[in-house]
Amino acid sequence: MADQITDSTFDSVVLNSDLPVLLDFWAPWCGPCRALGPVVDELAKEFEGKVRVVKMNVDENPATPAKFGIRAIPTLILFNKGEVVEQHTGAVAKPVLQEMLTKAAQ
């Protein structure tokens, strides 16, 4: 399962990670977020040790979404060495995310 992170843990978990990090910005009231949640958890298991997969509740953590201009959820951002590599908004198909993470894991 993907770990939950907060505004206060963002830098240490995402920006300072040795692995690429996929961050899922979500909220519990968001239907597409709830639909995508199990896919994100599956990807966390599938890419364990290669890509870190984490989630951030935008309602409880407003600073980080504001910093990255998140206007719609779900939004998934792939970070590598603290830099944004790729970003998708909306309910993205699992194969699209798998391809993105496979590239990042190489």
Q: Could you tell me the strand order of the sheet in which 3-4 lies? A: 3-4, 52-57, 21-26, 75-80, 83-89
- Annotated catalytic residue, options 22, 33, 53, 58: 33
Determine whether 30 is an active site residue: yes
**Rounded Cα gap, residues 46 and 28, in angstroms:** 24
Determine whether 33 is an active site residue: yes
Amino acid making up residue 78: L
Residue linked to tokens 């920006």: 15
- Annotated catalytic residue, options 2, 21, 30, 54: 30
Paired with 21 in beta bridges are 52, 79
The residues that are catalytic are 30, 33
